[in-house]
Each structure stands twice: as structure tokens, then as C-alpha cells.
């Protein structure tokens, strides 16, 4: 700010706007120079993945284990564990293997469940799991 004294004795205050204009011009030039760099894009031709058909859901086989150790395969009661093992072998040969869902009764002894799991392992069944385990929470 420059203060001048007028002839009448009053003080005049003026703002020097030259530095303000210089700063604004520098900012404007910076904006003009950098704007094309920010909008620059590189076009790439990327390979496209082949459109695949949606997978059909796998076959699900329900295996129920009753509280007395009776094994039910797809609604059919099996006489012994040999029948169960042959059923596991037949399913393990399929490609893709079906999913085996075990539904043990909440009061079944663990020994029966362990025998079913051991026979599935010996038969090389890869997709096996427990279903409806929320029934055991009570």
C-alpha cells in the first residue's frame, strides 16, 4: 500500500494490484499448460475373454444318517456300509463329481458319521459337506 498525502493534508490509500495480476496470469498459464495433459488418454486394444455359458448347478446327492446308524442314499435305505461305499465309488467316477450333502440326525453317534466320511474318503469323493447344521444349535 502506498500512502500519499494530498495537498489538502488528507491521506490517500491505494492498493497496488500489479502483483495480484501477475499471480493470476501465472495461475492461468499453468492451468492452460496442464489441462491437455490431464485429459490425455492412451487407447489400448485389450483381448476379449470368450463369453462362457453359465455353469449348470452340480448334481446334489442327499445322504441322511439316522440316529440308529441307518444310512439313506437319495431316499433309499442302504442295507450296509458296503452298499454305501459302492455308491460313493460310482459317484466318484463321474465327471464332474456331484456334491454329497450329509444330513446326520442330531442324536446320531459320531462313530456312524465317521464311518460314512471314511468310506467317502476311500472312494475319492471330493465334494462332500454337512447340510442343515443349524438344526444342531438347540
What is the reported pTM?
A: 0.57
Backbone angles phi, psi at 62, to 5 degrees: -95, 130
What is Dmax (Cα atoms) for the chain?
124
Euclidean distance between CA atoms 126 and 128, whole angstroms: 6
One pLDDT digit (tens) per residue for the chain, 138 residues: 555 555 666 777 888 888 899 999 999 999 888 777 666 677 878 888 887 777 788 889 999 999 898 999 998 999 888 999 999 999 999 988 999 999 998 888 999 999 999 999 999 999 999 887 666 655
Euclidean distance between CA atoms 82 and 84, whole angstroms: 5
User: Which residues, 6 or more positions from 14, have their beta carbon under 8 angstroms from its beta carbon?
Assistant: 1, 2, 4
Amino acid at each position: 500500500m502506498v500512502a500519499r498525502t494530498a495537498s489538502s493534508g488528507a491521506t490517500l490509500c491505494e492498493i497496488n494490484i500489479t502483483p495480484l495480476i501477475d499471480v493470476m496470469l501465472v495461475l492461468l498459464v499453468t492451468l492452460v499448460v496442464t489441462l491437455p495433459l490431464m485429459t490425455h488418454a492412451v487407447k489400448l486394444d485389450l483381448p476379449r475373454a470368450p463369453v462362457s455359458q453359465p455353469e449348470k448347478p452340480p448334481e446334489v446327492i442327499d445322504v441322511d444318517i439316522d440316529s440308529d446308524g441307518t444310512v439313506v442314499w437319495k431316499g433309499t435305505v442302504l442295507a450296509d456300509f458296503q452298499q454305501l461305499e459302492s455308491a460313493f465309488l460310482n459317484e466318484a467316477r463321474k465327471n464332474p463329481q456331484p456334491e454329497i450333502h450329509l444330513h446326520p440326525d442330531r442324536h446320531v453317534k459320531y462313530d456312524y458319521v465317521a464311518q460314512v466320511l471314511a468310506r467317502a474318503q476311500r472312494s475319492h469323493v471330493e465334494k462332500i459337506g454337512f447340510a442343515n447344521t443349524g438344526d444342531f444349535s438347540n
